Amino acid sequence: MFRGRFAPSPTGEMHLGNARTALLAWLQARANKGAFILRLEDLDTGRVRQGAADQILFDLEWLGLDWDEGWDISGQFAPYIQSQRQEIYAAYAQNLQTYGCSCSRKEILEAASAPHGSEVRYTGTCRDKTNHARATALRFKVPDLETRFVDGICGLVTENVQHTVGDFVIRRNDGVWAYQLACVADDAEMQISHVLRGADLLSSTARQLVLYRALNRAAPRFYHVPLLTDFYGTRLAKRDHALSLKTLRESGKQPQVMVQELARSLGWHIKTPCQPSDLLDVFEASYPLVSSG
């Protein structure tokens, strides 16, 4: 069965780029007559903003995007929430080869020979270290193997994670579980079959596939869609309050008009305001690889 998901972080107001990705993920699930799962990724508590989670739910409902699992105490649909799933991540970590790492960011930068894009390769300083003078992060021992996968939009991607980023952190030194492990554990537990998300997360995929392999769990198929950018070609961010759904709604924008504009940003010739379900035919025609099972 097809199972897709949308997994925003409640760190600010939902902007047009988030909304477009949510719309595409919803269309993908509905076109395949599958389930659409909502998950709030709120583990990084230092960045979570009060009220942002409720705002995300309101924004999705306002656009007409529903989801299929979970109920809150009032009997309404509610998302999965990562901060309530910490024991699951701990259990998954026990099935991985890991070690404690007390290296500071400065020490890692000094030891690295060359950065990989925005990433810095960890050289394994603490791999064989047993005594640490300060709090440790938990790193996964990455095997020296090439990872190859075919993204439904970007095509063939090849990466040796050990050569590009090295052993990566799955739990920070403050005890917070890192995105890579939490994402894999959640998608595995929720039996997600297809992941459609922004192209900014393409660089995380090889690391996640390495974890799937180590955990002996089946990986979903991935689709990384281009990011929505402003007039200058800069990707939208949550600090762009003028482009948030909340601001646009308060200025008088109607949800059907918003859906039409999101569709037109994809190059679809939608002449009138519409509901998300009105876009299923054009989605299947425009994204044949995305909508295939």
Phi/psi of residue 195, each to 5°?
-120, 115
Q: For domain 3-84+191-291, is the CATH number 3.40.640.10?
A: no
Residue type (1 letter), 115: P
Give the pairing type, strands 155-159 and 147-151: antiparallel
- Of 92, 166, 101, whose CA–CA distance to 137 is shortest? 101
SS3 174: coil
DSSP letter string, 49-98:
PTTHHHHHHHHHHHHT----S-B-TTSSB--EEGGG-HHHHHHHHTTS-E
Q: Give residue-wise pLDDT tens across range 6-17.
A: 999 999 999 999
The residue extents of the domains of the chain are 3-84+191-291, 91-171
CATH fold for the domain made of 91-171? Glutamyl-tRNA Synthetase; domain 3 (3.90.800)
Check residue 119 and give its pLDDT.
74
The C-alpha angle with vertex 77 and arms to 76 and 79, in degrees rounded to 5, equals 135
Q: For 208-263, how does the pLDDT look when each residue is reduced to its tens digit (9 = 90+)? A: 999 999 999 999 999 999 988 654 445 555 555 558 999 999 999 999 999 999 99
Contacts of 85 (CB under 8 A, 6+ apart): 182, 185, 186
Of 33, 238, 246, 253, which residue is the catalytic one?
238
238 counts as catalytic: yes
- Report pTM: 0.90
